[in-house]
Each structure stands twice: as structure tokens, then as C-alpha cells.
Amino acid sequence: MTQPTPTQSSPARSNVQALVDTIRGRIIRGQFAPGQRLKEEWLAAEFGVSRIPMREALRALASEGFVRSERYGGTFVATLDAEAAHDLLDVRAVLEPLAAAQAAMRCTPEHLETFRRLLDEGDRAFRERRPEDTRTVKGQLYEHLALASGNSTLIALMRVVRFKIEWATSIELIEQIPEETRNLRAKLVRDMVDAMADRDPARAATAAAAIIDATYASQGWRRVVEARFEAASKSP
Amino acid sequence: MTQPTPTQSSPARSNVQALVDTIRGRIIRGQFAPGQRLKEEWLAAEFGVSRIPMREALRALASEGFVRSERYGGTFVATLDAEAAHDLLDVRAVLEPLAAAQAAMRCTPEHLETFRRLLDEGDRAFRERRPEDTRTVKGQLYEHLALASGNSTLIALMRVVRFKIEWATSIELIEQIPEETRNLRAKLVRDMVDAMADRDPARAATAAAAIIDATYASQGWRRVVEARFEAASKSP
DNA sequence: GACATGAGACTTGTATACAACATTGCCCCA
DNA sequence: TGGGGCAATGTTGTATACAAGTCTCATGTC
């Protein structure tokens, strides 16, 4: 019956989206463990709101797949397994090339500029061993690719996939990714952006696919995923 | 200020999922027109519930992209345009081959049997000029493909994409699809299922891609989409 | 006449209260 | 001693009531 340590309450802007983002963040960071029960009243008290907005937040998280709930049955943090994580990568592997191709046809100079800025920031964060920032920038790149595609369906789908991939990869182990793998991927991302600048959808898509291939091929990355689930399976 | 004709209230099982399905259905069928305001109180009265479950239903529909709402700003049926519809097809064009490939590796004999049953049902419904049933079976095939893939992410994403594609294609015009196009696509679906039976992911994916190509190439189908938005743009 | 402005009505957002249902543990009985 | 039923407890689901914000339209001023 022990509930998790009530870390001090967050921003507490009283709108639902803030609750969703905060709770999703805690799930992704593992502060809410897979399988853990999330009682509405307890969470509501934790965030200083009533059950109504908290219910809406939990429903939203359920539709994103981060929690599961059954009628009168309670809400629980969803569980991930290694297979689901790889399935997630498979989905990413088809969405990202599509986004790259569409972005190559539609992106603006501002988009390209932002891509290059993010790439530089990412390089710096990785070189300076700031894994949190490295992950953040990686997420921003992914989000920006979706935005540049101009495909609203893709934007929504890629956002959820991105959150789940962050969930599936524990932050502590990102540092273990071999430097050569990371550099190869960074180079491929630059190739992708160059192809987008040349308005070459095919080349952009190929580069995007190569990024995923490099991720798959990376023994380091695989270890990141596997280790994540060893940790998770310890606390069911 | 005229609200839509209150068609007689639906099943009225008082759970939220039923509300979501019913309202989504009405949006898809055009009974709730794009841009139309959906007042919580009015809808709640229409379905004989209070605003709380209705709010949850509307939030869920917002996360699926069928309605849009801003804080204190009201909820409106989302609008579709032809570009968004084609973007939707592009997404489908990458998801479906992936699902086919994974299903080829994972599907059970029961899955295959269901596929073949649905194919027969679809043929019969089309021959007998029952467009409603034709669409229903088509949806079931699509859903079943996702299920057979065993990829939970794919199942969730394909479900939303499927609903939106139904939304983007008006039912009245399905009959206008040329018979040869329909038959070609039915044959390709059979090829896909055969490839799945042979546990041949590459061939299954190729067949799935060919299905989308046939859809794209179909002048009749294109007319279905375009006509849908001519109709929609009449009532903004 | 055009525009700023404020009161009013209206809609959404949230808290509280209560109803419906699941679960647990006890007691009774075989 | 084991199993079935029942009450006690607790959590979720929903209705009602009220608070907070937005929009409209009339009014007054320049």
C-alpha cells in the first residue's frame, strides 16, 4: 500500500495538459514504475487539484498508452517489454523516412536552419557528456522533423512514438552508446537535412532509413533497451 | 444557433467509450459537420448523461483528432481538407506494409481464417451493392491486419488512421469505385494473405504496398476523396 | 458614424457529494 | 478444515453546484 515518495508538487498550473505532461514525464523517468497503481484521489492531492481534472489527465495518458485502466478497476502504469520496444522501433522506422520525404518537399528555410542549430547543440551536448540535454535535443530533432513534414497525422503519431521511445530507453545508459555509433548517426542526420535542403525526398528518406538501421545495428543501443527492461522486470 | 436534428438517442450504455464511438460515428457519417460547435451540455442532454462523462468523451475525440477545443473556447468538429486526406493515405501507405510484414511472421491460423472469411464477405457485399457492409468489412480487414501484426503500437495507430480514412471518404461515393479497381484490390489483398500464410514478410509487404498504389492510381477513389471535400466545403 | 468599453449572458473548468461497483475478509455452515 | 456467502471498505463513475473565463451587444464618447 506504500505510495511513491511524493516528490514536491510540480508547476501546478491547473490545466489538464500540464498534468498530462508532468505525469507522463514521471512515467518516462521511471518515477512512476510500470504496473504501479495510480489512485485518482492520491494523485489529485499530490498535484493540488480535484479528481475531475486528474481523471481527464489519466484518460489522456490511457489513450497515449502510458497507463491502462478498466471500469471500476483502477488505473495502472502500463508495462513495457523488450518486444514492444522493438515494435516501437519498427514503427519509427517507417514513419521517419516518410516524414523526411515529405519534409524534403515542404520544409521552409527556417526549418532547415532550426535543424542545423539542433544538430550543433546535440553535438555539443554529447561531447560535453550531458546525457539529459543530448536526449532533449534528440527529441526536439524528432519533433521538428515531424513538424517540417507538414503532415498533421504524422505529427501526432510521431509525438506519441517519440515519448514511448524515450520511455523505453533509460537515460542513464545513453552515455554507453559508443561514440562512433553516435557520430555515424549524427552524420546521417546531417545527410538527411542536406537532402531536404536539396528538395530530394528519396535521398532524405534513404538517409532517415539509414539512421534507424544504424540504431538497430548499434550493439550499444540494443544494450540500452535490454537493460531498461532488466531494470523494469525487477519491480513488477 | 440551430443545433443539429437530435436523432433519437443511441444505445445509451452510460459508459464513456460508447459515447466516444457514437459521436465519432456521427462525425464520420457527417451527421456532425466539420466546424460545427459541440456544446457539452447539449450533447450531454442528447445522450442522457451529465457533462462529466461527455467531457471525457470529447477529450478522447480531441486526442484522436476528430474535434478541436481550446480552453474556455468551446469544442468544434475538426475540419478535413484534401491535403490532410492525402497525407493520411501516405501514412497508411507505410503502416500497412509494416503490419503485413509483421503479420506474416506472427499471425496464427485463426487470423488467416478470419482474413479469408472477411474477404469472402467483402466480395459478397460488393457484388450485392451493399456499400455500408462493404465499408464495414473493409474496416474489419484493416483492423484485423493490425491485430495479426501483434504490434500494439501499430494496432493503436492504424485504428485512428482507419477511422480518419473512413471520415475522409463519403459513403455514398464508394459505389462509384470502378469494379475493376475494386477487384484488383481484392486480388491484391488475397495475395497479401497468401504471402502471410507462406510466412513471407517481404512478399506480404509488397502486396500491401501494391494495395495502396492501386488505391492511389484509382481515379474513382480520388474522386471519392475530392467529392467528399466539395461536399464539406459547402457547409463551413 | 466609428470605436472603445462594460454589463450581462453564456460556456467551459473544477470542486464537492453521492451512487455504483469491485474487493476483501470474516463468519457461518457443511 | 475448507468453501460459499455476505457485509464492510474502498475506489471509481457520475450528477449537481458553483467559479472562472469568453463573447456579445448595447451604450456612451470622440
> Is residue B222 located within the same domain as residue B126?
yes
Domain presence at residue A7: no
The pLDDT score that the predictor gives to residue B219 is: 63
A17 pLDDT exceeds 50? yes
Of the three residues A41, A60, A77, the one that is the final residue of a domain is A77
The tally of CA atoms less than 13 A away on the side-chain side of residue B86 is 11
The pLDDT score that the predictor gives to residue A163 is: 96
> Is residue B215 located within the same domain as residue B143?
yes
Domain presence at residue A10: no
Query: Which spans in chain A are helix H?
Result: 16-29, 40-47, 51-64, 82-106, 109-127, 131-149, 152-168, 179-197, 201-217, 219-234
The pLDDT score that the predictor gives to residue A234 is: 45
The pLDDT score that the predictor gives to residue A236 is: 33
Of the three residues B77, B94, B126, the one that is the final residue of a domain is B77
pLDDT tens column, A74-127: 999 999 888 898 899 999 999 999 999 999 999 999 999 999 999 999 999 999
The pLDDT score that the predictor gives to residue B9 is: 36
Q: Least CB-CB distance to B91: which of A15, A84, A153? A: A153
Flag whether residue A65 sits within 8 Å of chain B, measured between CB atoms.
yes
The pLDDT score that the predictor gives to residue A82 is: 84
Residue A54 to residue B54: CA distance in whole angstroms: 16
Task: Identify the domain containing residue A120 by its residue range.
Answer: 82-234
Segment B86-92 mean pLDDT: 91
Closest Cα in chain A, distance from residue B160 (Å): 10
Residues of A in contact with B151 (CB under 8 A): 87, 90-91
Residue for grid cell 557528456:
A129
The pLDDT score that the predictor gives to residue A171 is: 65
Flag whether residue B176 sits within 8 Å of chain A, measured between CB atoms.
no
A128 pLDDT exceeds 80? yes
- Is residue B171 very low, low, confident or very high in pLDDT (cuts 50, 70, 90)? low
> Is residue A213 located within the same domain as residue A160?
yes
3-state secondary structure of B63: helix
Residue A53 to residue A41: CA distance in whole angstroms: 11
Of the three residues A77, A104, A120, the one that is the final residue of a domain is A77
Q: Least CB-CB distance to B71: which of A15, A64, A65? A: A15
Restricting to A residues 177-236, those with a Cβ less than 8 Å away from any Cβ of B are none
Burial class from Cβ neighbours inside 10 Å (0-12, 13-18, 19+) for residue A142 reads buried
Domain presence at residue B197: yes
Angle at A175 between CA A173 and CA A178, to 5 degrees: 110
Q: Which conformational region is residue B77 in: left (phi greater than 0), alpha (psi within -120 to 50 degrees), or beta?
A: beta
pLDDT tens column, A131-144: 889 999 999 999 99
Contacts of B122 (CB under 8 A, 6+ apart): B134, B137, B138, B141, B186
Segment A48-67 mean pLDDT: 97
> Is residue B53 located within the same domain as residue B119?
no
Domain presence at residue B185: yes
Domain presence at residue B6: no
DSSP-based helix, strand, coil % in chain B, nearest 5 = 75, 5, 20
Domain presence at residue A124: yes
> Is residue A72 located within the same domain as residue A88?
no
Q: Nearest Cα to B153, choosing from A116, A122, A171, A92?
A: A92
Residue A151 to residue A153: CA distance in whole angstroms: 6
Do A152 and B65 make contact, defined as CB atoms within 8 angstroms? Answer: yes
DSSP state of B31: S
> Is residue A123 located within the same domain as residue A198?
yes
A9 pLDDT exceeds 90? no
The pLDDT score that the predictor gives to residue A83 is: 87
B69, containing H or E segment:
strand B67-70
The pLDDT score that the predictor gives to residue A4 is: 36
Contacts of B161 (CB under 8 A, 6+ apart): A153, B88, B91, B92, B95
The pTM assigned to this predicted structure is 0.88
Q: What are phi and psi of B5, to 5 degrees?
A: -55, 120
Q: Give, in order, the Cα–Cα distances in Å from A57 to each of A14, A60, A78, A96, B59.
A: 11, 5, 15, 28, 10
The total of structural domains in chain B comes to 2
> Is residue B223 located within the same domain as residue B155?
yes
Do A65 and B152 make contact, defined as CB atoms within 8 angstroms? Answer: yes
Start-to-end CA distance of chain A, whole Å, equals 14
The pLDDT score that the predictor gives to residue B12 is: 35
Domain presence at residue B3: no
A68, containing H or E segment:
strand A67-70
pLDDT tens column, B6-64: 333 333 344 899 999 999 999 999 999 999 999 999 999 999 999 999 999 999 999 99
> Is residue B134 located within the same domain as residue B220?
yes
3-state secondary structure of B201: helix
A88 → chain B, closest CA residue:
B153
> Is residue B68 located within the same domain as residue B99?
no
Residue A196 to residue A205: CA distance in whole angstroms: 9
Q: D20 C1' – B53 CA distance, angstroms?
A: 21
- Is residue A210 very low, low, confident or very high in pLDDT (cuts 50, 70, 90)? very high
What's B187's domain CATH number?
1.20.120.530
Angle at A40 between CA A35 and CA A41, to 5 degrees: 130
What's A65's domain CATH number?
1.10.10.10
> Is residue A130 located within the same domain as residue A182?
yes
Say whether the CB atom of A74 is under 7 angstroms from strand D. yes
Flag whether residue B153 sits within 8 Å of chain A, measured between CB atoms.
yes
Flag whether residue B88 sits within 8 Å of chain A, measured between CB atoms.
yes
Q: Which nucleotide's C1' sits nearest to the alpha carbon of B39?
A: C11
> Is residue A104 located within the same domain as residue A220?
yes
> Is residue A184 located within the same domain as residue A126?
yes
B109, containing H or E segment:
helix B109-127
A3 pLDDT exceeds 70? no
Domain presence at residue A4: no
Residue A212 to residue A94: CA distance in whole angstroms: 9
A28 pLDDT exceeds 50? yes
